[in-house]
Amino acid sequence: IGFPLGLSIGTYNLPLPSKLVTQVLEPIDITGTFGTNPDIAEVDTHVRKVMQAALDELAAQRRFPVLG
């Protein structure tokens, strides 16, 4: 971790190690669920709810909130 604007004294700025977890969700059939002329706001709300539920599930599986 270094100073802003790229200023560094001593060693180079090295990123902290991190663990990434990904999950592929089932496809959402928009026309099958919402019809041929869907309301964009309704589709947006549905997609966000599905994605947030998956993120909440992944977050619940973590042992430590910051370190993973």
Q: Can you list the positions of beta strands (E) in the chain? A: none
pTM, two decimal places = 0.68
Domain that holds residue 65: 18-68
6 lies in some domain: no
50 lies in some domain: yes
What digits encode the pLDDT tens for the residues 42-57?
999 999 999 999 999 9
7 lies in some domain: no
Whether the CB-CB separation of 42 and 34 falls below 8 Å is answered with yes
Count the domains in the chain.
Answer: 1
13 lies in some domain: no
- Length of the chain equals 68
Query: Which tokens belong to 27?
Result: 């496809």
- What pLDDT sits at residue 17? 73
47 lies in some domain: yes
4 lies in some domain: no
What digits encode the pLDDT tens for the residues 26-42?
999 999 999 999 999 99
